[in-house]
Chains A and B, each alone.
Chain A
Amino acid sequence: MYAPHTKRDVEQMLAAIGAASLDELLRVPDDVALKEKLEIVPQLPEYLIGRRFEHFGAHNAGVGYRSFLGAGAYRHYAPPAIASLAMRGEFLTAYTPYQAEVSQGYLQAIYEWQTYICLLTGMDIANASVYDGATALAEAAIMALHATGRQKMLVSQAAHPNYRAVLRTYCDGLDVALDELPFTAEGTTDLQAVENAVAGGEYAAVALQSPNFFGNVDTLNAQALGAVREAGTVPIAVVAEALSLAALATPASWGAQIVAGEAQSFGVPVAYGGPYAGFIAATQEHLRRIPGRLVGKTVDSGGRSAYVLTLQAREQHIRRERATSNICTNQAHCALIATIYLALLGESGLRTAAALNLARSRELATAVANVSGVTLKHSAPFFNEFVADVHQPAAAVLAKLRERGILGGVDLGRFYPDLSSCILMTATELTTTADINALAAALKESLHVPAGV
């Protein structure tokens, strides 16, 4: 229980307080007092806790499989220097830096993070992080609702299904109507549908993800952007694979005003779903609406440059029910990890990592497409994942691959009933040619056996 009290300490402290016992201090009215035996895990000595979790770990067999899973959570190389820095106790055990004078280091690191996100996205401002990519999208939507005073949202069906589901959770709660845009046979958002939808001037924002859930580059073109702007609708870019920002044209370049993203790819482990590092970046006009913490540069009493949490008048602890968002805790430590990752890789390391993702995913796509019975669903430019159509139930094919020690990708039928013969496959710089060959061979064997046998 990690408390240092000796028996004598407790006695002396009780005497100083003037209490007869600990029970006297903690007594509660009888009508609410705990009366039953609790059912919680047993106390174990520390070395046996380690063994208990070794046991749990041994039952996560999926970790040992050759994996082609991505879809919003990406395995990338993280130099060990990240953990040795980020796990320093000064960073790890600090609270939100309310006392700036003893938090200059963390505040500066977050200022660096905000800068990195701006440079990567082409935006003017970025916040100190939000929970994850999905909540970043939901909070970005709220910014647009406030900016426009409208009550309708538009999102592409090619955006991550989980992000859309979270957006729906929030929209339902805010009594906001959420409409979805179809995608074309190319696997990108139907831009004609965008133009048609926004024409009425009802939508606060339109959100497109690029690369989208299928891995394809998916942005507004000039004509669609013109229609969106004319309608007074805010274009939101969603980025689930942040490494793509090292290669692809920035969201700013195609007209996004708000970017809602996930920075897990920058050194944060996949860890069965979290914690990750969401971010929101925006053009200057949205400064007063951006949710969460912001670090600003200022001076101290002696004129020296210094950092501090700023524009707090937007926040819940000052404005309570009039705040722009209820966010208190963010993902500072994951943002710190991402910042250190970006500092270590630098421009050339990041470009190399992006190029290797492009190379391996194309190697994978070629190998898979060479298997008889498999075709690539789309022909749009993609980053590090793509859709393979196996022309039979994907779930059954993936089960056969698992028997061969392979996690072949995500069954798209889980999210799109029309795509139940399709698998979303991902390759990163960590994917080897041996992995790819093994998948291609296993796929060949799996497809030769008729389904259900």
Chain B
Amino acid sequence: MSQPASEMSDGVPLIFELGQKGRANRYFEDAKPLETYLPPSVLREELPLPENSELDVVRHYTRLSQRTFGIDVGFYPLGSCTMKYNPRVNDAIAARREFAELHPYTPDELAQGALQVMYELERSLSSLFGMAAFSLNPSAGAHAELAALLIAKKYFKDRGETHRDKVIVPDTAHGTNPASAAMCGFHVISLPSDSRGRVSVEEIRKVLGPDTAVCMMTNPNTLGLFEEQIAQIAAEVHAAGGLMYYDGANANAIMGYTRPGDMGFDLMHLNTHKTFTIPHGGGGAGHGPLGVAAYLVDYLPTPVVVARDGEFALEFDRPKSIGPMRSFWSNFAHAVRALAYLYANGEAGLKRVSQLAVLNANYLRVKVAEFLETPYPETCRHEFVASAQRLKKEHGVRALDLAKALLDRGYMAPTIYFPLIVPESLMIEPTETESKETLDDFAAALHGIVETAKTNPQELFDAPTATVVGRVDETRAARQPDLRWRA
């Protein structure tokens, strides 16, 4: 990502600082003035937007892309984010005119292909994860969590159990879990993990009671460890009258071996932008299908795709539904990509995906354990957590410093300072699409950084230096918020 010297000092100008008034691209024929059609009272006065030639716009955003790190640029071991290769065939299929230009209000009989895509995806997800049915409505994982908690709330209301207002969340859980619960008025109980990084049956018994609504867990958890007691935990929660919610962020570790349904979960989401290779796009759009057990199907958000006599349809009239969660039916282009990925794998391929994701994580774990603490030294699943706590104590070097030094060496940093229960944590998820050579090189680079921490820590405090900017002043950004350009 080398840049001309002038750019190194000034950065790339904003689009608003470029162009000249009157330098318009001609995409349309001439039009009459707006006043021809509308009274002046409803018209805006000025529209102060920059005018740039197409070439200058192309160069501007090409330069911005060159200052952005994606999976296509290099190894991206961001824990809990499953940054695997995004197959190009999926994008090519989603961009086909018959999908991209299909209007959401197209009557069902003229959108049968799209509905079949949604139906096949829904059926496949239900089988793969052991749920009775899925809704493709939620836009992302957190959105599905919210939908699930709304379902739980409505379900308890229908049963006259409105006193159930507690949601149990392990201390290793993703931040969205407690935030989603709080949004719909539940009180969050944080459950401490045991010495092995798991939820214990004894611990959960202490917090279960007549006020228990939902227990939200991910398995494997964010330490990359499988919750072996999950069946007993689910049984305890169910015995207390609560529901089990599965956060599917870590589903890449289990396909073909176990299913949330088999583990006793009643509701779950899948981040297809993780497990099913949908591009993250810099933070979205995501896609968070929501699965439920049979007794909760009627509560799913609307619409639901159904098949009747070989015809597919969107069903809106579902009296017990919590209602729709978004403007239109689904992030459909992502449903197309997800189904294409399922076709590329089939049942055997998905099982292989999980096998190799877990193989890669354990291989890297063993290598990293040679030079960094790994607080839970046992077989992990798709990810593992290392800690820089000893380096911090002995040399003042923190996880943040290791992360920034990795950027200098051409790698994306792992997730740091999460999960919260491991001090100076680095959460590493290599995914199955990386080769042994890449893992070897990454481990060697990280090892080199750890050695530098002992001999020349200042070099790490100064990192990164090979990037277009050095360490960014986040405190100033928050204290003096500058969130937009002004003329």
Contact A174 B184 (CB under 8 A): yes
Considering the chains assembled together, what is the distance between the CA atoms of A156 and B234 in angstroms? 44
**Residue in A92, A262, A307, A358 whose CB lies within 8 Å of B34:** A358
A99 and B473 contact, Cβ closer than 8 Å, known pairs A44-B343, A270-B104: no
Number of interface residues of A (CB under 8 A): 198
CB-contacts of A108-131 with B (<8 A): 108-112, 114-116, 118-120, 124-126, 128-129, 131
Q: Which residues of A contact B448 (CB under 8 A)?
A: none
Considering the chains assembled together, what is the distance between the CA atoms of A34 and B12 in angstroms? 53
Write out, one digit per residue, whether chain A residues 306-332 have a CB within 8 A of any chain B CB (1) or not (0): 111011110111111111011111111
A349 and B15 contact, Cβ closer than 8 Å, known pairs A17-B366, A59-B112: no
Write out, one digit per residue, whether chain B residues 105-136 have a CB within 8 A of any chain A CB (1) or not (0): 11100111110110010011001101000000
Q: Answer whether residue A436 sits at the interface, using C-beta atoms and an 8 A cutoff.
A: no
Contact B145 A44 (CB under 8 A): no
Interface size for chain B: under 10, 10 to 19, 20 to 34, or 35 or more residues?
35 or more
Contact B110 A13 (CB under 8 A): no
Nearest-CB distance from B213 to chain A (Å)?
13
Contact A131 B139 (CB under 8 A): yes
Contact B322 A247 (CB under 8 A): no
Q: A295: nearest residue on chain B (CB-CB)?
A: B483
Q: Which residues of B contact A29 (CB under 8 A)?
A: 228, 230-231
Write out, one digit per residue, whether chain B residues 429-442 have a CB within 8 A of any chain A CB (1) or not (0): 00011111000000
Considering the chains assembled together, what is the distance between the CA atoms of A97 and B284 in angstroms? 11
Contact A297 B477 (CB under 8 A): yes
Contact B68 A103 (CB under 8 A): yes
Nearest-CB distance from A143 to chain B (Å)?
13
Write out, one digit per residue, whether chain B residues 361-380 have a CB within 8 A of any chain A CB (1) or not (0): 01100110000000000010
Q: Which residues of B contact A326 (CB under 8 A)?
A: 142, 145-146, 176, 179-180, 182-183
Contact A26 B484 (CB under 8 A): no
Contact A89 B72 (CB under 8 A): yes
Contact B343 A52 (CB under 8 A): yes
**Assuming A63-B106, A271-B333, what are 11 further A-B pairs, CB within 8 angstroms?**
A26-B257, A26-B355, A28-B254, A32-B231, A34-B130, A37-B347, A39-B124, A109-B64, A248-B42, A308-B474, A319-B179
What are 27 A-B pairs with beta-carbon distances under 8 A? A2-B87, A2-B432, A28-B258, A33-B262, A40-B350, A57-B97, A63-B102, A69-B103, A85-B62, A88-B62, A101-B404, A102-B412, A174-B183, A272-B329, A274-B326, A274-B332, A300-B470, A304-B9, A311-B481, A317-B176, A321-B181, A329-B139, A330-B283, A330-B285, A332-B283, A359-B32, A381-B39
> Most B CB atoms within 10 A — which of A57, A84, A160, A163?
A57
Q: Which residues of A contact B432 (CB under 8 A)?
A: 1-3, 5
Nearest-CB distance from B347 to chain A (Å)?
5
**Residue in A24, A116, A249, A344 whose CB lies within 8 Å of B44:** A249
Considering the chains assembled together, what is the distance between the CA atoms of A27 and B381 in angstroms? 10
Contact A346 B51 (CB under 8 A): yes
CB-contacts of B414-442 with A (<8 A): 415, 418, 432-436
A81 and B57 contact, Cβ closer than 8 Å, known pairs A174-B185, A330-B284: yes
Q: Answer whether residue A104 sits at the interface, using C-beta atoms and an 8 A cutoff.
A: yes
**Residue in B279, B348, B415 whose CB lies within 8 Å of A43:** B348
